[in-house]
């Protein structure tokens, strides 16, 4: 640990100070580790987020029957569905029959 203190003392403007390295090296290491884990989790959630393969259109304009569901796939088509175990869809609620 003495060698580490001497190395960091030689760098001008270094963020590590002598009192942190002597007494709280473990604490600063744990804080850095936790910050790294949090950044890694956030980045992985953003990178590996599932993209929708299409939309599910819901038409509830006919009060006598249940809602009509229409599946509209994006340009990737059925290949995107076959390659995945679970898919994500956008839900669009729109009534196509007017009641005037």
Write out pLDDT tens, residues 39-90: 999 999 888 887 888 899 998 887 788 888 998 888 877 887 887 888 888 9
pLDDT for res 74: 87
Q: Which two tokens stand for residue 66?
A: 């249940």
Give whichever of 10-19, 23-32, 49-58 has the largest mean pLDDT. Answer: 49-58
C-beta separation of 90 from 53 below 8 A: no
**Which residues make Cβ contacts (< 8 Å) with residue 76, sequence separation at least 6?**
53
For 27, list phi and psi in degrees, rounded to 5: -65, -45
pLDDT for res 60: 84
Secondary structure of residue 76 in the 3-state scheme: coil
C-beta separation of 56 from 67 below 8 A: no
Q: Per the confidence metrics, is the pTM higher than 0.85?
A: no
Query: Does pLDDT of 6 surpass 90?
Result: no
């Amino acid at each position: 640990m003495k060698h580490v203190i001497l190395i960091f003392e030689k760098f001008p403007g270094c963020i590590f100070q002598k009192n942190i390295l002597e007494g709280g090296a473990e604490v600063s290491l744990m804080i850095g580790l936790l910050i790294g884990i949090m950044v890694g989790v956030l980045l992985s959630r953003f990178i590996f987020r599932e993209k929708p393969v299409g939309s599910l259109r819901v038409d509830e304009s006919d009060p006598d029957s249940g809602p009509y569901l229409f599946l509209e796939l994006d340009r990737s088509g059925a290949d995107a569905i076959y390659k995945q175990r679970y898919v994500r869809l956008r839900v669009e609620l729109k009534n196509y029959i007017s009641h005037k």
